[in-house]
């Protein structure tokens, strides 16, 4: 009977050593469960600090999450930190590959910055609650008109409360080894608020994380914070060209930081609904 308690202690390390599929699911389950536990810890801390929903709660969330990368065997190699020292509000845009992007976001998150995320996230248990407490702006990706209204309100909030917003302009997760065409939402937001855009590019996860192949190894993520792109004086007529310019500079840097070929890369499209993820 006593030996039965020892068996799992022996089997788990053996599977971690011999089965990449087991490692994949073990790390994924650990990541989700641990993040929910951290959110449970963060909820009362945020309520005590700010009394409720407040972008300043992102400091607490950032502090609690930053160590998670070590448990998953991940490291970040960052260049361009100085570009985040821009004064006042701005819009950060970055590529979106998986739920692991949360770790990169928390690694780079400047003060008084929150994000725009899909509305469904608010129903994700303790994680949804902490997202709401952190001032995250939720958007319904299925309703373009609602998304535009939220963006207009977000632009006003940025200026009134002097906050920064992080947006994933691809609109959904992408592990194809390129960038998906950008949605216009982040660029309308920046133009309406007349604030700069700061692009952040994370290298491809393909060297350590492959969802379809069920591989999740240790790895280093290259991160480039690019110089700000000004929007002062721009109008809604300039949104498409602003989108294209941002896409091109991010795509070039994604290829460089990921050390991949530029062959068969998707061409950006300026049209499409205003959504983000």
Domain CATH number, residue 208? 3.40.1130
Cβ 238 vs Cβ 133: under 8 Å: no
In a domain, 143, yes or no: yes
In a domain, 275, yes or no: no
- What are residue 99's DSSP bridge partners? none
In a domain, 58, yes or no: yes
Q: Report the candidate in 139, 136, 142, 68 with the shortest Cα–Cα distance to residue 107.
A: 68
- Tens digits of per-residue pLDDT, 47-80? 999 999 999 999 999 999 999 999 999 999 999 9
pLDDT at 171: 84
Position 5 confidence tier, pLDDT thresholds 50, 70, 90:
low
Cβ 146 vs Cβ 154: under 8 Å: no
In a domain, 269, yes or no: no
DSSP symbol at 208? T
Sign of the Cα pseudo-torsion (267, 271, 272, 276, in order): positive
Sign of the Cα pseudo-torsion (192, 140, 51, 60, in order): negative
pLDDT at 9: 65
Mean pLDDT (whole number) for 247-266: 75
Helices (H), the chain: 2-18, 20-50, 57-65, 68-71, 101-108, 125-133, 144-161, 185-193, 239-258
Q: What rounded mean pLDDT belongs to the chain?
A: 88
- Range in 11-25, 101-115, 184-198 the model is least confident about: 11-25
Q: Which domain holds residue 127?
A: 2-258
Distance in angstroms (rounded) separating the CA atoms of residues 231 and 235? 8
pLDDT at 262: 36
Helical packing angle, 125-133 and 57-65, nearest 10°: 140
- Which positions ≥6 away from 5 have C-beta within 8 Å? none
- Which positions ≥6 away from 121 have C-beta within 8 Å? 127, 128, 131, 136, 138
Sign of the Cα pseudo-torsion (202, 208, 209, 210, in order): positive
Which tops the pLDDT comparison, 154 or 2? 154
pLDDT at 265: 41
- Which class for 129: exposed (0-12), middle (13-18), buried (19 or more C-beta within 10 A)? middle
- Tens digits of per-residue pLDDT, 100-152? 999 999 999 999 999 998 888 999 999 999 999 999 999 876 666 666 777 78
pLDDT at 150: 78
In a domain, 272, yes or no: no
In a domain, 123, yes or no: yes
In a domain, 178, yes or no: yes
Strands 197-202 and 219-225: antiparallel
Mean pLDDT (whole number) for 13-18: 71
Our measurement of the distance from residue 41's CA atom to the centroid of its chain's CA atoms, rounded to an integer in Å, reads 21
Distance in angstroms (rounded) separating the CA atoms of residues 41 and 49? 13
- Percentage of residues in the chain with pLDDT exceeding 90? 73
pLDDT at 177: 79
DSSP symbol at 229? B
In a domain, 118, yes or no: yes
pLDDT at 152: 80
Structural domain count of the chain? 1
Cβ 27 vs Cβ 209: under 8 Å: no
Chain position carrying tokens 């592990």: 175
Distance in angstroms (rounded) separating the CA atoms of residues 147 and 139? 6
Global pTM value: 0.86
């Amino acid at each position: 009977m006593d030996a039965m308690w020892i068996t799992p202690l022996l089997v788990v390390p053996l599977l971690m050593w011999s089965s990449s599929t087991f490692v994949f699911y073990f790390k994924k389950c650990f990541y989700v469960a641990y993040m929910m536990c951290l959110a449970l810890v963060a909820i009362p801390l945020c309520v005590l600090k700010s009394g409720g929903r407040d972008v300043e709660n992102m400091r607490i969330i950032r502090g609690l999450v930053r160590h998670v990368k070590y448990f998953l065997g991940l490291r970040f190699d960052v260049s361009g930190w100085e570009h985040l020292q821009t004064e006042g509000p701005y819009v950060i845009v970055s590529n979106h590959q998986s739920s692991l992007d949360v770790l990169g976001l928390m690694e780079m998150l400047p003060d008084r910055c929150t994000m725009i995320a899909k509305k469904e996230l608010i129903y994700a248990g303790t994680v949804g609650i902490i997202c709401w407490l952190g001032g995250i702006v939720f958007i319904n990706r299925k309703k373009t008109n609602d998304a535009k209204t939220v963006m207009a309100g977000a632009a006003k909030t940025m200026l009134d409360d002097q906050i920064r917003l992080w947006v994933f302009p691809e609109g959904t997760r992408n592990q194809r080894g390129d960038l998906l065409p950008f949605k216009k939402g982040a660029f309308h937001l920046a133009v309406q608020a007349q604030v700069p855009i700061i692009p952040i590019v994370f290298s491809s996860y393909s060297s350590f994380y492959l969802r379809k192949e069920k591989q999740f190894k240790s790895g280093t993520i290259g991160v480039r914070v690019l110089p700000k792109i000004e929007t002062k004086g721009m109008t809604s007529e300039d949104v498409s060209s602003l989108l294209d310019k941002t896409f091109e500079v991010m795509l070039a840097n994604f290829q460089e930081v990921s050390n991949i070929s530029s062959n068969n890369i998707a061409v950006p499209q300026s049209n499409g609904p205003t959504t983000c993820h």
